[in-house]
């Protein structure tokens, strides 16, 4: 079954497209953090970034950068966030990969996640675990 994003791409349901190239398109989020909040979406359905071919991953971020720069120019925002949820535990609710590009303003009241602290001696254990997972 096609995702909601594929249905938008195919014109089956409405979506406010702001960008398109051969691999990606971008639409406005219908429940924005700030007005202009844009979703960058691959045309092919990949559940999340872990399923995407390596050659598209770099281009994905280039498109997100292009959208962010466009938000600064067109909306006079003071910055932007690039956020991506991968898998349900990370908050992903639509399982067709997408990057959120959110225009930011100094006093917009959008808060970042709270920081946690490592216990004494714990950080080295995480370094080793992550290194093994990456290799």
- Give me the active site residues, please: 98
Contact 83, 38 (CB under 8 A): no
Q: Burial, 81: exposed, middle or buried (Cβ in 10 Å; 0-12, 13-18, 19+)?
A: middle
Contact 39, 6 (CB under 8 A): no
Find, among 4, 12, 42, 2, the residue nearest to 25 by Cα.
42
Name the phi and psi angles at 36, rounded to 5.
105, -10
Find, among 99, 101, 97, the residue nearest to 4 by Cα.
97
Is the dihedral angle over the CA atoms 45, 46, 52, 57 positive or is it negative?
A: positive
């Amino acid at each position: 079954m096609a995702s909601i994003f594929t249905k938008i791409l195919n014109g089956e349901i409405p979506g406010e497209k702001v960008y398109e190239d051969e691999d990606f398109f971008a639409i406005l989020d219908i429940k924005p953090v700030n007005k202009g909040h844009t979703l960058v979406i691959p045309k092919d359905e990949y559940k999340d970034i872990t399923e995407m071919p390596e050659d598209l991953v770099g281009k994905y971020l280039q498109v997100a950068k292009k959208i962010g720069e466009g938000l600064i120019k067109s909306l006079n925002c003071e910055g932007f966030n690039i956020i991506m949820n991968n898998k349900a535990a990370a908050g992903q609710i639509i399982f067709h990969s997408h990057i959120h590009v959110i225009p930011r303003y100094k006093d917009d009241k959008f808060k970042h996640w709270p920081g946690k602290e490592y216990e004494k001696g714990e950080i080295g254990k995480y370094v080793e675990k992550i290194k093994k997972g990456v290799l």
